C-alpha cells in the first residue's frame, strides 16, 4: 500500500498551514462578535480599544474596511462589516488589529456595542409552522416533486392502497465541522499583488472571491494553501478572517494574521443544518414498495443561503417505487449560517430513510437486507438514465457474509449485562466531476511535476496525483512531484463532493497523453537523437531503431530543461447517457448496557462499490473517517443553542465528538469495478459515502438490541431508559 507523500511533513510538524506563516512586520487581527441574535447595531464605542497598547486599527460597520460581496458559481458570499444588521449571535461585527495577538484580543474586549435588539427565532420546532418552500436545487429541480403510477391520483391514495404502511417523523441535530485547523489567514501585499495563506477547499476559487471582494483583477491575488487541517465543506467559501486580513493588510500596508478562536469557529463559520423529516412507506405483503413520501424541513440562516437537501438526495435514488412524492422546506432562523458538510443531504437524509426501511422490515417480519434487495433501483426515479455501474446487491451479500449477519435474531441477544444488536443500512452518494486543469512538466533530471490549484484537505489527493501521474507517464510514482494548493497553478476546482480524484485524475491522463506526443515529436525532429526514426514511448523512455532513451536524457540531448503540457477535463456527454453514484452497505453491532443504558458500538463494517480504488491505504482512511463521523452523528454531536441564540456548547469541552475509546476496529471492503463510463480513470468518489447510512445502522442496531426505536440523533442514554 502507498503511504501519503505528505505524511512525513505532517507527522514531523514541518507542514506549514495557513496560520504557521510569520512575515516581517506582521500584525495580528482579532474579530469582535455580536452578542445578540437579531437586531441592529446602533453604535460601537471603540475609543478605549483604539487607545489600548499596540493597537493600530479598529474597524466596524461605522468605519469599515473596503470590501464588497463577491459572487461565485455557488452564489453570493457574505462579507463582514458591510452593514449594521445582526442576523445571529456570534456574527463578526468588528476587527481589531494590533502588534501582537494578545494586544488585539484584549483590545477587542474593550469595544462597547449598543444594539437595538429585535425578536429572534432560534428554535426549529417553533419555526416549523412558518416553513417555506425551498428554492430549486442546484440542478433546477423544484422543491416539491411527485411521480405517480398511471391511474393514481395522489401519493395519499397510493399509501392508502398499500397493504403495509409505516409512517414516522425523524430528526437530526445541527453540527459543526470541528476541523482541527481553525479558520485563519495571513495576508500580505507586495507591489499591488495580494498573497493569502489560508486553508480552503479551492485556492483558485478563494482567489476569485477575494479579488471580487477587494475589487481588483484576479491576477492580483494569489491564494496559497498546500496543507489544510480539515475542511469537510466548511472551508469551501472564503472565511471572515481571510476577507478582513486581506483588506486590513491593504489599508495598513503591513502583513496581517487573523485566526478564529475555537469558540469563535462555532458561530463565525457555517455548520450543518438541523432537519425534521416525515417518511411514509407503503408496500405489499412481499415487501415491494408501492409508495414513498419524504417530506423534509431544515434550518437555514435568515438569508436563506443554503438548503440541506435531505429528501432530494435520498428518496429519488435509493429504491424503486411505483409512486414517489418528496418535498423540501426551509425554516429561516437567527442562527449561524448553514453550508455543505460531509455528505450534505445524504448523511441526515439516509438516517431517516434507512430507519424507516428498517421499520418497514420489522412490520413485514422480513430481513432488512432482503427488503432492500427486493426494491433495488436501476435508475433514479424520474430520470430514466440507468446507473453506469451498480453492485449494491453484492455489497449486501459480501457484507452479510463477513459480518455474520446470518446469526442476527429479530430481538438481538444478551451477553451478561449487555444487550447486543445488529443493524444495517444502504449508502449512496452521487458520483460527480468538476472541471479541472492539470499541468505536467517533464524535467531533464528524469522526474516529473504534476500541478493543479486544487487542494488536499486530508483526502489524499496529493498522493493520487503522483500515482495517476506515474501511471499515465509510465514511470514510478516516486519520480513524480505533486503540487497542490496554489492559485498560480492551473485551475483545479474545488476539493468537494467526492470529485477530486475523478476530476484531476482525468485531466492528468489527458495532459500526459499530450505530453508524450510532444516528447515523441521532439525526439524525432531534425537534429534530435531519433531524427527521422519512427518512435514510441514505454517505461519513461523514447524507443526507436532498436534504441531506448529515458526522457530526461533526451531532454538534455536537445538542450531542454523541461517539456510541459496541460490537460483539461469536465463533465460532458456521459451525463446524458447514464446516472452515476457510489454505493455501499453499512453493518453495525452495538452493545447497550442493561442497567446504565450506555451505548457502545462494538463492530462496524462497510462494503463499497466506488469504482476503481487508486490508493487503498488512503481509501480505507477516508472510509474509516466517514464511518467514525457516522458514529459521532449517531451518539455524540449536537450543537445546542440557548433561546437567545447563543451556543450552549460552542467549544470542545461541551460539543461532543468521539475519542479513540468510542470507536471499535473498523472493517472496510471495496468491490473493484472500474467505472470508465464516468471517467477515464474509472474511479468514483469515496470521501463522503463512508458517513452515509452509519447513523441509521446504529439506530437500527439499538432497536434490535433493546426494542426501543429512537427516531432522532444523537441517541442519548435518556432515550433508552425504561420504567
- 673-706 residue pLDDT tens: 999 999 999 999 899 999 999 999 999 999 999 9
Residue 453 resides in a domain? yes
Mean pLDDT of 142-164: 96
**Residue 604 sits in the same domain as residue 718:** yes
Average pLDDT of the chain is 95
**Residue 508 sits in the same domain as residue 542:** yes
Q: What is the pLDDT of residue 383?
A: 87
Residue spans of alpha helices (H) in 488-559? 500-523, 551-557
Residue 282 resides in a domain? no
**Residue 48 sits in the same domain as residue 190:** yes
Is residue 631 scored above 80 in pLDDT?
Answer: yes
146-169 as b/e: b if 16+ CB within 10 A: ebbeeebeebeebbeebebbbeee
**Parent domain of 472:** 436-570
**Residue 194 sits in the same domain as residue 48:** yes
Q: What is the pLDDT of residue 384?
A: 83
Residue 284 C-alpha cell reads as: 405489499
**Residue 198 sits in the same domain as residue 253:** yes
Q: Which residue has the cell 414513498?
A: 292
Is residue 100 scored above 80 in pLDDT?
Answer: yes
Q: Which of 210, 226, 261 is the last residue of a domain?
A: 261
Q: What is the pLDDT of residue 75?
A: 74
**Residue 189 sits in the same domain as residue 208:** yes
**Cα torsion through 449, 453, 455, 461, rounded to 10:** -40
Catalytically active residues, by annotation: 688
256-259 and 27-33 strand pairing: parallel
**Residue 557 sits in the same domain as residue 659:** no
Residue 118's pLDDT band (boundaries 50, 70, 90)?
very high
Q: What is the pLDDT of residue 723?
A: 60
Q: Hey, which bits of 67-143 come out as E strands?
A: 71-72, 75-76, 85-86, 92-98, 112-117, 132-133
Is residue 266 scored above 70 in pLDDT?
Answer: yes
Quote the CA–CA distance of 387 and 119 in Å, as a whole number.
Answer: 49
Say what angle helices 346-364 and 694-706 make with each other, to 10 degrees: 30
Is residue 74 scored above 80 in pLDDT?
Answer: no
Residue 404's pLDDT band (boundaries 50, 70, 90)?
very high
Q: What is the pLDDT of residue 2?
A: 84
List strands edge to edge, sheet with 418-430: 413-415, 418-430, 581-593, 599-609, 666-671
Q: Which of 570, 596, 623 is the last residue of a domain?
A: 570
The percentage of the chain sitting over the pLDDT mark of 90, rounded to a whole number, equals: 92
Mean pLDDT of 345-362: 98
- 571-627 residue pLDDT tens: 988 999 999 999 999 999 999 999 999 999 999 999 999 999 999 999 999 999 999
8 Å CB contact between 615 and 2: yes
Residue 300's pLDDT band (boundaries 50, 70, 90)?
very high
Q: What is the pLDDT of residue 523?
A: 96
Q: Which of 570, 602, 629 is the last residue of a domain?
A: 570
**Residue 396 sits in the same domain as residue 497:** no
Q: What is the pLDDT of residue 73?
A: 65
Q: What is the pLDDT of residue 606?
A: 98
**Residue 631 sits in the same domain as residue 525:** no
Q: What is the pLDDT of residue 291?
A: 98
Q: Based on the structure, what is the number of domains in the chain?
A: 3
Provide the whole-model pTM.
Answer: 0.96
**Residue 426 sits in the same domain as residue 455:** no
- 305-327 residue pLDDT tens: 999 999 977 878 999 999 999 99
Amino acid at each position: 500500500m502507498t503511504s501519503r507523500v505528505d505524511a512525513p511533513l505532517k507527522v514531523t510538524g514541518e507542514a506549514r498551514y495557513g496560520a504557521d506563516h510569520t512575515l516581517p512586520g506582521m500584525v495580528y487581527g482579532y474579530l469582535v462578535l455580536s452578542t445578540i441574535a437579531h437586531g441592529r447595531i446602533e453604535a460601537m464605542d471603540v475609543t478605549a480599544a483604539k487607545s489600548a497598547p499596540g493597537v493600530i486599527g479598529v474597524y466596524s460597520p461605522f468605519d469599515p474596511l473596503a470590501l464588497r460581496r463577491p459572487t461565485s458559481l455557488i452564489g453570493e458570499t457574505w462579507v463582514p462589516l458591510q452593514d449594521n444588521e445582526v442576523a445571529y449571535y456570534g456574527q463578526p461585527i468588528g476587527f481589531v488589529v494590533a502588534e501582537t495577538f494578545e494586544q488585539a484580543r484584549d483590545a477587542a474586549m474593550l469595544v462597547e456595542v449598543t444594539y437595538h435588539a429585535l425578536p429572534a427565532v432560534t428554535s426549529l420546532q417553533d419555526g416549523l409552522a412558518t416553513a417555506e418552500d425551498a428554492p430549486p436545487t442546484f440542478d433546477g429541480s423544484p422543491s416539491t416533486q411527485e411521480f405517480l403510477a398511471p391511474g393514481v391520483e395522489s401519493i395519499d391514495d397510493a399509501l392508502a392502497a398499500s397493504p403495509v404502511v409505516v409512517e414516522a417523523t425523524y430528526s437530526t441535530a445541527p453540527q459543526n465541522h470541528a476541523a482541527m485547523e481553525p479558520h485563519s489567514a495571513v495576508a500580505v501585499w507586495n507591489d499591488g499583488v495580494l498573497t493569502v495563506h489560508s486553508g480552503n477547499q479551492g485556492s483558485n476559487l478563494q482567489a476569485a472571491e477575494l479579488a471580487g471582494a477587494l475589487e481588483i483583477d484576479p491576477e492580483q491575488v494569489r491564494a496559497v494553501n498546500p496543507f489544510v487541517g480539515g475542511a469537510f465543506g466548511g472551508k469551501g467559501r472564503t472565511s471572515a478572517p481571510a476577507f478582513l486580513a486581506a483588506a486590513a493588510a491593504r489599508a495598513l500596508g503591513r502583513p496581517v494574521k487573523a485566526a478564529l478562536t475555537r469558540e469563535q469557529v462555532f458561530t463565525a463559520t457555517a455548520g450543518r443544518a438541523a432537519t425534521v423529516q416525515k417518511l411514509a412507506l407503503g408496500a405489499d405483503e412481499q415487501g415491494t414498495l408501492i409508495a414513498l413520501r419524504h417530506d423534509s424541513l431544515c434550518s437555514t440562516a435568515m438569508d436563506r443561503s443554503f438548503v440541506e437537501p435531505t429528501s432530494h438526495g435520498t428518496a429519488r435514488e435509493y429504491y424503486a417505487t411505483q409512486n414517489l412524492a418528496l418535498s423540501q422546506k426551509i425554516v429561516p432562523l437567527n442562527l449561524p449560517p448553514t453550508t455543505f458538510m460531509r455528505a450534505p443531504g445524504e448523511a441526515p437524509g439516509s438516517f431517516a430513510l434507512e430507519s424507516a426501511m428498517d421499520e418497514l422490515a420489522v412490520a413485514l417480519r422480513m430481513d432488512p437486507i432482503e427488503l432492500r434487495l427486493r426494491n433495488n433501483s436501476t435508475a433514479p426515479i424520474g430520470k430514466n438514465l440507468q446507473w453506469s455501474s451498480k453492485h449494491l446487491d453484492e455489497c449486501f451479500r459480501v457484507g452479510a457474509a463477513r459480518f455474520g449477519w446470518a446469526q442476527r435474531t429479530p430481538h438481538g441477544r444478551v451477553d451478561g449485562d449487555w444487550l447486543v444488536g445488529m443493524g444495517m443500512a444502504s449508502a449512496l452518494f452521487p458520483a460527480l466531476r468538476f472541471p479541472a486543469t492539470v499541468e505536467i512538466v517533464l524535467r531533464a533530471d528524469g522526474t516529473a511535476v504534476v500541478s493543479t490549484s486544487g487542494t488536499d484537505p486530508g483526502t489524499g489527493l496529493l498522493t493520487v496525483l503522483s500515482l495517476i501521474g506515474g501511471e499515465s507517464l509510465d514511470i514510478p510514482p516516486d519520480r513524480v512531484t505533486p503540487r497542490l494548493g496554489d492559485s498560480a497553478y492551473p485551475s483545479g476546482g474545488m476539493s468537494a463532493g467526492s470529485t477530486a480524484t475523478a476530476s484531476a485524475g482525468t485531466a492528468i491522463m489527458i495532459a500526459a497523453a499530450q505530453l508524450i506526443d510532444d516528447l515523441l515529436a521532439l525526439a524525432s525532429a531534425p537534429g534530435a537523437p531519433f531524427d527521422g526514426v519512427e518512435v514510441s514511448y514505454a517505461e519513461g523512455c523514447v524507443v526507436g531503431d532498436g534504441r531506448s532513451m529515458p526522457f530526461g536524457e533526451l531532454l538534455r540531448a536537445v538542450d531542454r530543461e523541461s517539456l510541459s503540457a496541460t490537460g483539461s477535463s469536465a463533465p460532458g456527454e456521459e451525463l446524458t447517457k447514464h446516472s452515476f453514484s457510489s454505493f455501499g452497505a453499512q453493518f453495525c453491532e452495538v452493545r447497550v448496557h442493561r442497567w446504565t443504558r450506555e451505548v457502545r458500538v462494538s463492530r462496524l463494517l462497510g462494503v463499497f462499490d466506488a469504482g476503481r480504488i487508486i490508493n487503498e491505504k488512503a481509501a480505507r482512511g477516508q472510509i474509516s473517517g466517514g464511518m467514525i463521523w457516522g458514529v459521532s452523528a449517531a451518539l455524540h454531536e449536537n450543537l445546542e443553542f440557548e433561546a437567545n441564540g447563543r451556543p450552549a456548547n460552542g467549544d470542545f469541552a461541551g460539543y461532543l465528538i468521539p475519542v479513540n475509546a468510542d470507536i471499535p476496529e473498523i472493517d472496510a471492503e471495496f468491490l473493484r469495478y472500474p467505472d470508465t463510463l464516468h471517467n477515464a480513470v474509472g474511479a468514483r468518489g469515496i470521501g463522503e459515502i463512508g458517513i452515509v447510512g452509519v447513523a441509521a445502522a446504529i439506530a437500527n442496531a439499538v432497536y434490535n438490541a433493546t426494542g426501543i426505536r429512537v427516531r432522532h440523533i444523537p441517541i442519548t442514554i435518556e432515550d433508552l431508559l425504561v420504567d
